[in-house]
Each structure stands twice: as C-alpha cells, then as structure tokens.
Amino acid sequence: MGQLCGGEKVPETERFLRANDRPFNLSYQYADNAIKTSKYNFFNFLPLNLFEQLQRLANAYFFCLLILQVIPAISSLSWFTTVVPLMLVLSMTAIKDANDDINRHKSDRQVNNRKVDVLINGEMSSEKWMNVQVGDIIKLENNQFVTADLLLLSSSEPLNLIYIETAELDGETNLKVRQALTVTGEMGNSIEALANFNGEVRCEPPNNHLDKFKGTLTLNGEAYSLDNDKILLRGCTLRNTGWCYGLVVFGGPDTKLMQNCGKTTFKRTSIDHLMNVLVLCIFGFLASMCTILAIGNAIWEVQEGSVFTAFLPRPDDISAGFSAFLSFWSYVIILNTVVPISLYVSVEIIRLGNSFYIDWDRKMYYPKNDTAAQARTTTLNEELGQIKYIFSDKTGTLTQNIMTFNKCSINGTSYGELFDFSRQRVEITEKTEKVDFSWNKLADPKFVFHDHSLVEAVRGGNLEAQAFFRLLALCHTVMSEEKKEGELSYQAQSPDEGALVTAARNFGFVFRSRTPETIVAMEMGKEVTYDLLAVLDFNNVRKRMSVIVRNPEGKLTLYCKGADTIIYERLHPSCSKLKELTTSHLNEYAGDGLRTLVLAYKDLDNAYVEDWERRHHEASTAMDGREEMLDELYEEIEKDLMLLGSSAVEDKLQDGVPQTIEQLAKADIKIWVLTGDKQETAENIGYSCNLLREKMNDVFIVAANTPQEVKEELENARRKMCPDAPDQPHVVTSRAGLFWRNKQQRVEDEPVEGEYALVINGHSLVEGEYALVINGHSLAYALQKDLEVELLRTACMCQTVICCRVTPLQKAQVVELVKKYKQAVTLAIGDGANDVSMIKAAHIGVGISGQEGMQAVLSSDFSLAQFRYLQRLLLVHGRWSYLRMCNFLRYFFYKNFTFTFVHFWYAFFCGFSAQTVYDEWFITLYNLVYTALPVLGMSLFDQDVNDRWSFQYPQLYVPGQLNLYFSKKAFVRCMMHSAYSSLVLFFIPWATMCDTVRDDGKDIVDYQSFALLAQTCLLIAVSIQLCLDTHYWTALNQFFVWGSLSAYFAITFTMYSNGMFFIFTSTFPFIGTAANSLNQPNVWLTILLTSTLCALPVVAYRFVLIQLSPTINDKVRYKVQREAIPAPAPRRIPVRRISTRRSGYAFSHTQGYGELVTSSRFLMRRPQKSRPALFTHTDSPLAQSQPQHYRTIAEEHEEPAQST
C-alpha cells in the first residue's frame, strides 16, 4: 500500500512473477528494462550542477563575496568585477558537464531503443528494450544481445542447449553453454504453447552475484529447481544458436550487469582536494589580516582620526568601533586577491589545453582501427602524473583474445623459429615471409606460420610429423560446421584446442566432421574415417585427455595430450633420450611465455581393448565408486606411451605490453591484475608480460575456501616475507578533508627481504621480489572487514598481485580497499562491461577501445586503443600536466600574495582606511591582462625534459607520487617568498620616493607617483620570477612575456594621458603621472634595485640546492645539456630465457565433454516443428547443468586491428 501511495519502496526479499501476466507483475512495481547511466535531466541539471560546483570552496567564497559587494557601505569595488568571472567559471564547467552527460544520455537511448521480439497477447511483436517488462517472454536470435536477465525456456539446439559469449560480464571469450529445463524445452518455438505458458517463478531478489542464482519454477503444480545455468544474463551475446525463448526475471537496473556497475561519482583530483584545504587556510589568514587592520583602524580613529575630522567629517552615528567593523569588510574585498577567481578560470583553461594535447598526440593514435587517444574529461589531467597503483583487466587489455599455434617440438626437432646462416635467431616481424598453404584447399587463410621446414617435413613424408598433426586432428572435443564446401568453422571448448586443431588443419590433417562413433579427417588430401571407441575425458586432476580410435586398416591407437609432468610419468622407458630433448624445448617455450602441451600415443591390442571396453562400460554404469573405477581404468590404459613431441600456443599479448609494464615498474607504479579468468590462465599471462618472473623468491597462491584458511594463508605468506613483522599492522590515523572532518587510516609499508609474488600486489620497500595470486572465492573472504587489512598488508609486500575469478563488484572493492588504506592515487584500465565498476571506483578510469564493446570507454575518463599507450599517457602527458599545474599554482600564489601583501603594508601608512595602494585600473587588469597570458604560456608549453628523456628516465615520475611539486609545505614556502618580495616591493620604493624631488627641482612625492612606481616594480619582479620558473622557452612564451609588459606600458600611458582625463574625468584621475615619473633616472634605478633584490635570493637558493642536493629532474636536465637527444629504443629480439615452469593443459577446459560428444543425441539438429526425446543421462554434466565452455574459431582470427 505504501508503494502504491508513493511511499518509500520496501526492499525486496524475494521476487515472485508469473509468465504472460503483465497486470499481476506490475502490481509489484518491478523495474522495467530501461537503464539510466546519466547524472542529470532537463529539470535538475541547473540546481544539481550548481550544488556540485559550489562544493568547491572557492566558488562558494566568491559567491559570498558577490553578496558583500552589493552593500554600498562596505564595497569599494563594483559588483560586476566578481559576478562576470564567477559566471564565466560556472558556465564553462556547466557546459562541459552537460556535454559529458548528453553523451551518456545518447548511449542510454541507443541501448534502450534496441528492438527485440516480445510475446504479447499471443503474438510476437517487435518492441523497444525499454518497454520490456518482468514476466514477458522474448525471442532472441543468433548474435543478438541478451535483453534482460532471462530464464531460458527453449532453444533451436539439441538438448535445449544454447551457446553464449560472456565477454561483457567476465572478460572470457570462450563460448559457454546454458540448458533449459526439459519441461519448458518441450514448447520449442510453438507460439501457442509459449502464449499459454503460465509458470510462476520465485527467486532471489536483485543482486550482483554473477555466478549464483537460486529459484524455483512452479508449473502445473510441480516445482522445478532453477540455478545459474538456466539463466541468461544481460550483457551476454547469443552465439551459434538459431533462436531461443526466455522469460524476463530481472529488468534494467535490477539486472546483474547493472547491479555490478558502480555509481557515477563526481571525481576531483588530489590537487583539488588540497586546494580546498589551502583555500580554507587562506580564508583564515585573510580574516586574520583583516582583523589586524580593523583593530589598527579603530586605534587610529581614536588616536589620530579626530585631527582629520575638520577635513574629513564623520557621520555622527559612526563610532571608531563601527568604523573598524566596516573597515574589516572593506579589507575583505580589497585583499580578496589572495584567492582570485581568475585562478580557477586559468586552471580550467590549462586542463582543457592539456586534454587537447592528449587528443592530438599522434604517437597514441592506432592506425589499424583508426582510433586516437581521447581525454573524455578535462578535470583530471594532472592526476595522471601521480598514479601509484594501476588495476588492470587481463582479457582484451593485456591480451588480444587471440590464441595462435606458435612453435612445436616433434621427435626432438624444434620448429617455429627462424635462423640465419650463422645459426643466430632471426626476429619474426610482419615483413617476414609466411608459409604458403595454397596447396591445402581446406587451410584456414587466417593461419600464419613462418618456419617452412615444418611444411617440408609433413609434405615430405616425415612419419613423426604426420603422426603429430594426426593426433591434434583426432584428440579433441571440437565440433565442426561446414556450411559450404571447404568453409569450415570450429566450435572449440577452449581457445587452446581451437588453435591446435586449426594448426593441424593447415598442415594437411583437417578435422572435417564427427559423429558419436566416428571422426572424419582429411589427411594430405585423402579422406579418412576413424572409429571413435572412447574419449578419456579431461579433468583438473588428470590434466590430460585421450581418445581411442581405429583407423580404416583396423589398427587401434590411443592418442593422448596433456601437461608435461603428467605425460612424462606415463612414458615408455625407451623415450628417455627424446624426453630430454623435448624437455629442453619445453623450457625454451615456457621461457617465451607460451602455453605448452606434450603429445604421446600408444598402439593397442584388439583383444585388450575389447576387454577394457567391457570393464569401462561396467564402471560407467556402476552406482557406487563410479569415478574411482573410471580413474583406475584410465590409469591402466594410459601408460607406456610413446612420446611424439610438444606444442606451444601463444596467448597473444597486445603489442608492447611487457615493455610498458617494465617502464611503469621503473616509475614505481604498482600493477595489480584483476581478471575474471582462471588462475592458470592469469598466471600464464603474468609470466608472459613479466609481471611474474622465474627469479622471484616465491609466488603465493591463495585459494582457500573458508575465512580462517584465507587468513592463515595470508599470514603464512607475510611471515615468510618478513619473519620479524608484528602481528598487528602499523596503521596511522590522521584527519583530512575540508575542516578536517574525514578520519583517514593508512597502513604503513613493511620492508621485506627477497623476491615474492602474490596472485594479489607489489611494493617498493621490498628487498626482493614476491607475487600473490588469489582467486575469487578467497578474495570474497579476504575483503571482509576483519580480513581486509591483512589482505592489503600482505599484498603490499609483494611486487605483483593477480586476482583471479573476480566479479566486477570485487574489482571495485579491491580498488576501494587500496584507496581507503594507502591514500594513493589509483588508475583502473579495462575494455569490457565487467570493468565498468572498477573504472568508476578508481581516481582515474581508462577504457580500452577493444573487442568487448564500448561500455568501458563510455564510463572512462580517458580512452586508449592499446595498453602500450598507457606509458605515454602517464610518463609524458600525466607528468607534464602535473608539473605544469604545480608550477602554475606556485607562481600564481606567489604573484597574488605579493600583490596583496603590498596592500597590507600600505595600510599602516594610510590610516587603515582601506585605500588601495595601486591604481584601480591596475587592480582590474593585473590578473586579467598583465599576468594572464605569460602564466598560461608557461602552464601550457613548459616541460622540464622532452618526451624521449621522459621515457629514458621513468624515475622522473616518482616526485609526482610523493607530491613534491606542490604541497602544504610548498605553499608555506611560497607565502614566505611572497612576504619577502612584498617587503622589498613596498619599502624600497617608499624609501626612495620619500622626500625626493625631480631633477628639475619639483616635488615627485605624491600618492599617484608612488602607486605607479610600486605597481611597475611589482609587474617587472613577477615577470622575472616567471622567467626563472620557465624551463622550456617557445616563441609564444617570449611573445606573451614581452607583449604583456609592452601592453602594461602602452595602457598605462594611454590611461594616464590628458585625453582620457578630459573624456572620463572621474574614471581616469592619474593625469600625467606616467610621463612625469617614468622619465626620472631614480625611478628606473629603483625598479632595477627591487627586481634584483627579488630575484637574487631565488637564484642563489636554487644554485646552492642544485650543488648540494640535486633532484632527479636537475640531474636529467644536466645530462640533457651534455648529451644528444636519445634515439627511440630499437626493436630488439627478446632474450631467450629458460624456464622450468610450464603451463597446465587447456585451462578453459571443463570436464564432461567426452561423454557429450559421444552422445547419440548431441549431434541431432532439432526439427522445426517436433522435438526428439531429451537426453536423460543423469550423470551427464549437462544434465547436472555444469558450466560449459565453447568458442567459435572462425571468429577468433580477425584482422589485428580488431583485436585491440
């Protein structure tokens, strides 16, 4: 009732819905299928955006100042001097925010307006996604996106199967299998049966668990259990399936995909946060100065003011105290230049300019798919120069999602590498000659190989080479589809298998088709049909699979492939010499980061196989101990194998990934890999891209299943790295934020001796290398409140952290954990929808324009085409942006504090009357004209060293992480410098002008002459300081500096001329001051003296500092002066490293496919009108709805441009 009356919505505890009954489902007010990722709408944009902008303390301050300026008794400046720049700043930011949100609205509309077939009133009609409701039945066709979270009802495939790609959810591109209930599958595609379907579903409420679903379907009084394998999640894509029907369970914001998407937040840089604190301090300082001057005014009015009443009569109702009160507010307005609004205008311009540099950088342009880098937000550029932790997705970000057959070892000979005449390795590039497979009409045209000797061996009749590829063509669970003669496409359970079968296909051994009892292959152009007697299936313990086949001559053979350690234990003793050769090749392949398998065979006796088959049938039908009996039979027959060789498959990394990671590591940036992929796959990629290294002291694997076990594994790892570490971490508590309201806790780093890796994090105080690997189940426990600090503590001791099988929400939680306890700037990079929450949670989100769609890019702050461009984004653009912003802020505060302090000193000589020391026009134009362009020129074009030197010395990035360029200490030094300069700029002109006459004997001393001299000294002194702060001079910098000084003198002489006085007498009172003062030598000598005294201490201090304690920047700049520009690093052939670690077998494999491919029901296509009996084996993995993994090889090898 509360919901119907508009009250607060009660949280769901259970979802109950009825198929084909919209009125019933609408009564529960479930969310429809429309999504919203935007922040604003037409009505709330203005108030909400203004509210967000006024959270920036300076904007709120200027708003209050504007109110003060409309009070005539207080203000000595016009109100529009504040309202115009304030409106400019607010408008610029609002337009930018509106543009960003309009793009989000466009994305939402594009998704919400997609069409799908919905069953309404017994008829199929095309509806927009946003109009789909919970309880609707919808029809999906091949390659369509899944509209909402659906309960699968029926499909066009045998056994009610469908194939889906879940790359948007977990980053995996393997096809997975889902299976409908038998009772719903019988409806097929009968519209009448589907329209009459009135099943009721009770299930869990909306949540973010991608791998769990609990519910029941009640139909005709019978209840059927529902689990995750009956559910299609929004974000998946239907593949290799003609059609399927599904019942909408969750829609729009309730879908698991949207539940995992983090909330869009208003991101601000650490400099913004620091500026808020500094502005607060400046307000306090301003109030103190105004209070001092107000007290001085009260004292002066009592002691001296009465003398002047004859000349300056006071109103009767104004006492000395009230005069001091008014003086206080007048000085608030006059001294407000300590935080000028032009500061924020300049900041926005600088950020915008640096964003354009990113957009225009040709060195971050990827021509293969015509994609340039893009700064999607203009407010976070300088944050790129302070990154300490990078959280990266694996699939599509570090890798290309492409598996390729790279090398192999056959009968002791290694193939796949090229050598010159001196037997030196030759690097394989795009220009290297490729093997011509035109002799094989069934070859895959996308397959690439460069070693011609392997083709010659196969075509020359080398029996071992032919047996090698025959094994690859027969020993697998791949399904083949031939739509046209010669056009084969493979559905592979794992990408490894797809790559191996495709390799055999190109080398003349083509897997053509299969039935439950046979395999048809083309061997060197001749069709051969093998009888398939048994498939000895893969599982995680066996780490191998075998097939038993009979060739047309009646010869029985067992073919086996698997992990090297497993196969070696089962080899015949006669293979010992070949085993040594193969092992050396395996070590080389593993050193290159390749995924290896060992291949072996065994000839079998007919009588033995008949007896073994009988015992196998008995074991497979046994009620008790079935698995143990089958394992014993497999062990019995898989022994005394004859070694054929080994294969090496490359999970192709994106170009430049290892080099990028190496550069970022030199910059002391920690990289954590957060992936939804399996542990073994993630480890393999870790070794390939040098995140994990053989020389590491240890790699810790955390794979426990209870909180207590997780805690013990983390503690054991920590004690091994640092035996003397205390049981409790060193947590530093501090206050931060505006008014110091936020309580912060920071976990201190702990020193470690040795090298370790945790498949979880890495750190600088480690005197060695360690790595941590943690899986999703363990991570879920480790992220609990009582274990999160232990997790972070152990992880931060390691050089590398890899988190496997993590959900999108867990990715965000890991990022939040580091943000909470390390107070370091974080960056998240990914390419799929499963990375969106992580990208939103990090300080900086980077989206890769990859194969997994554009969701990550649309939610990101910056987008790149390749991971390798990240090093340029950070080490060049990020570092320059941070350096420029810090230089700008230091200089801006210096010039404005100096400007303001001169006012403060002058107050003691003007009776604290709030008179300005400068001409009012100078005050107006100081920040807008005279000093605006020079400081913008420095802030947009300055660089300490060029981009090549930045790459040569990544250590230049470290000062940004430590906030060395601009901090509270730097701000205090800036204030002290300003105080000294203001003393020089006020008292030296005052002393030189006091009791001074012109060279013609006339008096030069008056307020106007002193004001002109003081402002001229100030402008020249701050211009010299800007020249000292500029490292990189361009023609524009020169023009801005000299042009601004020229403009000052031109404007001054114009405004102080007789003509301007006669036209606007009250506006330009300084008639003739410039001409009378600036023609005197003592004025110019005073300007020279003040400029020298302001600049000399700065030059001396910097000279001594460079001699005694040079920074990394000083050292590199010195090196730049002495050496030529470093040439771009040449492409070097990777150094061969030998590894004793080799990958396990077929990581994406799932147990149960052996029985599936030999099922007589599996290969039967569904008739369009009638359906065959369903598969009834209760021991089938499909009947048990275990996760299944498939992949279409035909879609795998796209052009390289599409594999970013």
Chain-centre distance for alpha carbon 775: 20
Q: CA 400 to CA 171: how far, in whole Å?
A: 12
Q: CA 943 to CA 932: how far, in whole Å?
A: 19
Query: Tokens 């579903």 sit at which residue?
Result: 201
Strand 518-523 with 509-514, pairing: antiparallel
311-318 own/partner pairs: CB under 8 Å, 24+ apart: none
Calculate the dihedral angle through the C-alpha atoms of 150, 156, 160, 161, rounding to the nearest 10 degrees. Answer: -80
DSSP state of 1136: P
Please say whether the beta carbons of 446 and 1197 come within 8 A.
yes
Q: CA 398 to CA 171: how far, in whole Å?
A: 12
Q: CA 186 to CA 285: how far, in whole Å?
A: 79
CA distances from 219 to 153, 201, 657 (A): 12, 9, 53
Q: What b-and-e string marks burial along 978-987, b requiring 16 or more CB atoms within 10 Å of the CB? A: bebbbbbbbe
Rg (the chain; Cα; Å): 37
Please say whether the beta carbons of 1094 and 1020 come within 8 A.
no
Q: CA 562 to CA 196: how far, in whole Å?
A: 50
**Catalytic positions, written as ranges:** 393
Q: CA 202 to CA 220: how far, in whole Å?
A: 15
407 Cβ partners below 8 Å, 6+ apart?
414, 415, 416, 417, 589, 592, 594, 647, 648
CB atoms within 10 A of CB 577: 10
Q: CA 954 to CA 1116: how far, in whole Å?
A: 11
Q: What b-and-e string marks burial along 715-735, b requiring 16 or more CB atoms within 10 Å of the CB? A: eebbebbbeebeeebeeeeee
Q: CA 63 to CA 57: how far, in whole Å?
A: 10
Work out the end-to-end distance of the chain between its first and last CA atoms, rounded to an integer number of angstroms: 52
Query: Tokens 């290799």 sit at which residue?
Result: 240
DSSP state of 307: G
Read off the tokens for 965: 């360029």
Q: CA 921 to CA 906: how far, in whole Å?
A: 18
Q: CA 563 to CA 92: how far, in whole Å?
A: 61
User: Can you tell me whether residue 622 is helix, strand or coil?
Assistant: coil
Q: CA 286 to CA 289: how far, in whole Å?
A: 5
